[in-house]
Amino acid sequence: MKMHLECPMPKFGFDVITLGHGSGGLLTHQLLKSGVFDVFNNEMLNQQHDGASFELNGKVAFSTDSYVITPIFFPGGNIGELAVNGTVNDLAMCGAMPQYLSLSFIIEEGFSMQEFWQVLMGIKEAAQFAGVKIVTGDTKVVEKGKGDQLFINTSGIGLIHPRAIIHHIRIQSGDQIILSGNLATHGIAIMSKRKGLEFETDLESDTAPLNHIIYHLLETFGEQIHFLRDPTRGGIASVLNEVAELTQLGYHINQKLIPLDEQVEGACEMLGLDPLYVANEGLFVAIVAKEIAADFIELLSKDNNGKNAAIIGEVVTDHPGKLVMKSRIGGHRVVNYLTGEQLPRIC
Amino acid sequence: MKFLTEYRDPELVQEYLKKIHRITTRPWTLMEICGGQTHSLVKNGILDMLPEKITMVHGPGCPVCVTSLSVIDEAIYLAEQSGVIFCSFGDMLRVPGSTKSLLEVKAAGADIRILYSPLEAVELAKANPDKEVVFFAVGFETTAPANALSVVHAAKSGVFNYSILASHVLVPPAMEAILSDDENVIDAFLAAGHVCTIMGMEEYYPVAEKYKIPIVITGFEPVDLLQGILMAVQQLEKGEFKVENQYTRYVQREGNIVAMKTIFEVFEKGDRIWRGIGSIPNSGYEVNDQYKLYNARLKFNLNLPVAEENAACISGDIMKGLKKPKQCPNFGTACKPEHPLGAPMVSSEGACAAYYHYSSSTGRKEVIT
């Protein structure tokens, strides 16, 4: 469940971000003080040093990602939540329990202070929900026209679960391919609000931190989980093509079994997009030992992020290195990598 | 998804397949005209479910694929002019011109916008009175009404900084060009359902009669396509050559009168060069004299040299049905979607791209079962 933080926006004295806010001088200091240190208040950040120092005991995962989404506010979230959840999920997919994040902004001159505050609140909410601390960061302001409102980079670090052995070399023939929820919801929710393409849906991005459910799954099934990946850009087609290439096993999925919201399916039909290539958030692909697949689904489907989880296919020895999908009508086709961007078709 | 799921019903699909298998006694070559049909056949794995005796060849009905190199060069020239906002449907951007694509021009700083409707381009022109907005009006008869409407709309609202680069192509002349080719191998056509939704069926009767060839107006879903194939094979086996309508839920014999009226208000027929095929008489629409202010070719005095097609691309033979994509020596090697030699590898509806994306090995039974 999402929390709603209703902190009032501090009086920065400016309606918009100016170049001065990135100068390193007084304006930067004021912005950081009320916008960052007070908001994310923790002992490491409060040292206001160039970096964070902490101890970690065990094997660590480390990940980074940059967030450049348009529009920055979308149904179901904003760029701030995405920046936290994205890196949290990348760590979770390594079998790690995310602990600390860095947070860097590249802000375009003229960006609304009110919106910046909303993004900060989104970050705070998401970090609290995921149970991670923002411990270091950076803010830069670029001239108008040299950026697109707001770019965020987050890096994160987390301890790997002692029972997690997530690696593509562990995938074997007979393993089941599991999708944790409805495909392509995030990508289509964003697209429905893009300028020039607005169409009516009540779809919301499913951006969410997956670390809690991954922790439960690792606690229960440990090394029986062979591979985890969140299919963000490039969709599940890219993830499964990558592992097909790496493992030289065949990946066979059944279109009929792939959970897909009716509105998403309709939008994809209309725009000529293939949901297999559409970006996702709050969704993961798991490749697990056949023996645990049913129990894995049972546990996963009790979680808010796993209600529609389904086994969508299996790993086979046929067609090594290739992803093949059985169509709804029973035909088969190879699913390749996406080339370039998916461009809506003419007619 | 009502109106779609019933046309993807696995049981109905099996039923039609059985019927097709049962009645087919001789080898037949059918051409589906539209790229959307090609895509659906390949994407759903239908090609390997058909009897061996039936060969599907993929026709010229992909607007991206048949737009000539010279027209792409014109688009690139316009997009590079300062003060121009050049607007296009998404999939035209990747098509290579003589030296570069619109996507590369965009990356180099040209103001190119991907739009979903030409009416948005008119709005853009209103919002940017100091700029010239040009819309790349490509497509078959299907997109012509909306493109024509944008011109009517601009004229009615007194918007003069808007023009279109018309590159419309028409289906019946292309069918005739294929049929009159000495090497023609086509026994029957699946005509494009969407085109006929606009234009109706009348144009097809003389073609069927003259070339003694069955024409079945067909939709795009698996059940549509199989029913269309069945109807065509039934005619072939009986020695008939009629125009039939499988896509009855949309296509009426007289077409969409209002849409046609809009087309003829703005456009006139003219010769058009088709990529890989060459010039076909009366096979395209150009902006007529009445609306010449909205013709980008006149407005910008376009007079570029005719570009030479890349000799390594056999798209002409593919679109005439003489060769399959995989018979091209460059397929999947020198020519891939990320660096296409010709347009059929670019568009999501191009025959080469469909084969590249959805099947992997060679030969007819290429798709793994």
Q: Is B278 helix (H, G, I), strand (E, B) or coil?
A: strand
Q: Which amino acid is at A46?
A: N
Would you say residue B196 lies in a domain? yes
pLDDT in tens, chain B (369 residues): 566 778 889 999 999 999 999 999 999 999 999 988 988 998 888 988 999 999 998 888 888 888 888 999 999 999 999 999 999 988 788 888 888 889 999 999 999 999 888 999 999 999 999 999 999 999 999 999 999 999 999 999 999 999 999 999 999 999 999 999 888 999 999 999 999 999 999 999 999 999 999 999 999 999 999 999 999 999 999 999 999 999 999 999 999 999 999 999 999 999 999 987 889 999 999 999 999 999 999 999 999 888 887 788 888 888 777 888 888 999 988 898 878 887 788 776 678 887 887 764 333 333 322
Check whether residue B155 and residue B33 sit in a common domain.
no
Backbone angles phi, psi at B138, to 5 degrees: -100, 170
Asked if A345's CB is within 8 angstroms of B358's CB, the reply is no
Cα B366 from Cα A324, distance rounded (Å):
12
Check whether residue B144 and residue B37 sit in a common domain.
no
Q: Average pLDDT over chain A, rounded to whole?
A: 91
Q: Which residues contact B320 (CB under 8 A, 6 or more apart)?
A: B60, B178, B181, B183, B184, B277
Helix (H) or strand (E) holding A283: none
Chain B contact present for A266, CB below 8 A: yes
Check whether residue B85 and residue B53 sit in a common domain.
no
Asked if A329's CB is within 8 angstroms of B44's CB, the reply is yes
Cα A214 from Cα B11, distance rounded (Å):
39
Asked if B45's CB is within 8 angstroms of A329's CB, the reply is yes
Q: Which residues of A15-47 are buried (b: 16+ CB within 10 A; e: fewer)?
A: ebbbebbbeeeebbebbbebbbbebbeeebbee
For residue B120, list chain A residues with Cβ-Cβ distance below 8 A.
Answer: 196
Query: Measured between CA atoms, how close is B360 to chain A, in angstroms?
Result: 7
CATH code: domain of residue B193: 3.40.50.11750
Q: Is B182 helix (H, G, I), strand (E, B) or coil?
A: coil
Cross-strand partners of B85: B133
Q: List Cα–Cα distances, B237 to A183, B23, B27, B195, B246, in angstroms.
A: 44, 8, 10, 27, 18
Would you say residue A4 lies in a domain? no
Cα A294 from Cα A300, distance rounded (Å):
10
Asked if B337's CB is within 8 angstroms of A339's CB, the reply is yes
Chain A contact present for B106, CB below 8 A: no
Query: Measured between CA atoms, how close is A150 to chain B, in angstroms?
Result: 21
Would you say residue A198 lies in a domain? yes
Check whether residue A156 and residue A245 sit in a common domain.
no
Answer whether the bond into residue A71 is a cis peptide, omega within 30°: yes
Cα A49 from Cα A32, distance rounded (Å):
13
What pLDDT was estimated at residue B305? 86
Check whether residue B155 and residue B193 sit in a common domain.
no
pLDDT tier, A1 (very low <50, low <70, confident <90, very high otherwise): very low
Pick from A118, A134, A160: which residue ends a domain? A160
Check whether residue A325 and residue A184 sit in a common domain.
yes
CATH code: domain of residue A280: 3.90.650.10
Structure-token pair, residue B202: 């009348």
Residue A22 has pLDDT above 90, yes or no: no
What pLDDT was estimated at residue A342? 67
Full residue range of the structural domain in which residue B343 is found: 327-357
Split into its structural domains, chain A has a count of: 2
Cα A210 from Cα A228, distance rounded (Å):
11
In this structure, the dihedral spanned by the alpha carbons of residues A296, A231, A4 and A73, taken in order and rounded to 10 degrees, is: -160
Check whether residue A135 and residue A172 sit in a common domain.
no
CB atoms within 10 A of CB B300: 17
Ramachandran quadrant class, B26 (left: phi over 0; alpha: psi -120 to 50; beta: rest): beta
Would you say residue B95 lies in a domain? yes
Check whether residue B86 and residue B230 sit in a common domain.
no
Check whether residue A133 and residue A180 sit in a common domain.
no
Structure-token pair, residue B215: 């024409």
Asked if B92's CB is within 8 angstroms of A346's CB, the reply is yes
Cα B257 from Cα B260, distance rounded (Å):
5
Q: Which amino acid is at A48?
A: Q
Which residue among A330, A335, A345 places its CB closest to the CB of B348? Answer: A345
Split into its structural domains, chain B has a count of: 3
Residue A30 has pLDDT above 90, yes or no: no
Query: Measured between CA atoms, how close is A182 to chain B, in angstroms?
Result: 16
For residue A272, list chain B residues with Cβ-Cβ distance below 8 A.
Answer: 348
Query: Could you tell me which of A157, A161, A104, A151 has the C-alpha nearest to residue A133?
Result: A157
CATH code: domain of residue A25: 3.30.1330.10
Query: Measured between CA atoms, how close is A342 to chain B, in angstroms?
Result: 9
What pLDDT was estimated at residue A162? 96
Q: Span A106-133, mean pLDDT?
A: 95
Task: Give the whole-number percent of chain A exceeding pLDDT 70.
Answer: 93
Pick from B226, B245, B264: which residue ends a domain? B245
Check whether residue B9 and residue B124 sit in a common domain.
no
What pLDDT was estimated at residue B340? 81
Query: Measured between CA atoms, how close is B239 to chain A, in angstroms?
Result: 30
Query: Could you tell me which of B90, B98, B108 has the C-alpha nearest to residue B72?
Result: B98
Cα B229 from Cα B17, distance rounded (Å):
9
Pick from A160, A180, A215: which residue ends a domain? A160
Would you say residue B153 lies in a domain? yes
Asked if A344's CB is within 8 angstroms of B337's CB, the reply is no
Query: Would you say B197 and B255 are in contact if contact means Cβ atoms under 8 Å apart?
Result: yes
Would you say residue B308 lies in a domain? no
Check whether residue A141 and residue A176 sit in a common domain.
no
Check whether residue A153 and residue A172 sit in a common domain.
no
Chain B contact present for A169, CB below 8 A: no
Check whether residue B116 and residue B239 sit in a common domain.
no
Check whether residue B9 and residue B123 sit in a common domain.
no
Q: Which residues contact B224 (CB under 8 A, 6 or more apart)?
A: B7, B193, B218, B246, B247
For residue B89, list chain A residues with Cβ-Cβ distance below 8 A.
Answer: 344-346
Check whether residue B276 and residue B191 sit in a common domain.
no
Chain A contact present for B347, CB below 8 A: yes
What pLDDT was estimated at residue A5? 55
Q: Is B72 helix (H, G, I), strand (E, B) or coil?
A: helix
Minimum mean pLDDT range among A24-33, A304-313, B139-148:
A24-33
CATH code: domain of residue B130: 3.40.50.11740
Check whether residue A242 and residue A199 sit in a common domain.
yes
What pLDDT was estimated at residue B92? 87
Check whether residue A319 and residue A229 sit in a common domain.
yes
Query: Would you say A268 and A154 are in contact if contact means Cβ atoms under 8 Å apart?
Result: no
Check whether residue A146 and residue A181 sit in a common domain.
no
Pick from B200, B219, B245: which residue ends a domain? B245
Residue count of chain B: 369
Query: Would you say A89 and A210 are in contact if contact means Cβ atoms under 8 Å apart?
Result: yes
Check whether residue A58 and residue A207 sit in a common domain.
no
Asked if A339's CB is within 8 angstroms of B43's CB, the reply is no
Query: Would you say B240 and B188 are in contact if contact means Cβ atoms under 8 Å apart?
Result: no
Cα B346 from Cα B336, distance rounded (Å):
8
Query: Which of residues A242 and B337 earns the better pLDDT score?
Result: A242
Cα B234 from Cα B229, distance rounded (Å):
8
In the block, tokens 């020519």 appear at: B335
Pick from A160, A190, A205: which residue ends a domain? A160
Q: Residue B180, class by beta-carbon neighbours within 10 Å (0-12 exposed, 13-18 middle, 19+ buried)?
A: exposed
What pLDDT was estimated at residue B363? 35
pLDDT digits (tens, 9 = 90+) for A202-214: 888 889 999 999 9
Would you say residue B261 lies in a domain? yes
Chain A contact present for B10, CB below 8 A: yes
What pLDDT was estimated at residue B3? 63
Asked if B13's CB is within 8 angstroms of A346's CB, the reply is no
Angle between helices B10-23 and B222-238 (to 10 degrees): 20
What pLDDT was estimated at residue B320? 75
Minimum CA–CA partner of A328 in chain B? B10
Cross-strand partners of A195: none
Check whether residue A29 and residue A134 sit in a common domain.
yes
Check whether residue A246 and residue A266 sit in a common domain.
yes
Would you say residue B315 lies in a domain? no
Would you say residue B45 lies in a domain? yes
pTM: 0.82
For residue A335, list chain B residues with Cβ-Cβ distance below 8 A.
Answer: 357-358
Q: List Cα–Cα distances, B154 to B53, B125, B133, B162, B164, in angstroms.
A: 52, 9, 11, 7, 11
Asked if A196's CB is within 8 angstroms of B8's CB, the reply is no
Which residue among A196, A265, A333 places its CB closest to the CB of B45? Answer: A333
81-100 in B: which are within 8 Å (CB) of A?
Answer: 89-94
pLDDT digits (tens, 9 = 90+) for A145-202: 899 999 999 999 999 999 999 999 999 999 999 999 999 999 888 888 776 666 777 8
Helices (H), chain B: 10-23, 35-43, 63-66, 69-80, 102-107, 118-127, 144-156, 171-179, 193-199, 204-211, 222-238, 257-266, 296-299, 315-319, 351-358
Full residue range of the structural domain in which residue A289 is found: 168-334
Q: Which residues contact B222 (CB under 8 A, 6 or more apart)?
A: A329, B7, B8, B13, B40, B44, B46
Helix (H) or strand (E) holding A10: none
Would you say residue A341 lies in a domain? no
State the sign of the Cα–Cα–Cα–Cα dihedral B280, B285, B290, B296. negative
Check whether residue B100 and residue B160 sit in a common domain.
yes
Ramachandran quadrant class, B358 (left: phi over 0; alpha: psi -120 to 50; beta: rest): alpha
Would you say residue B305 lies in a domain? no
Minimum CA–CA partner of A273 in chain B? B348
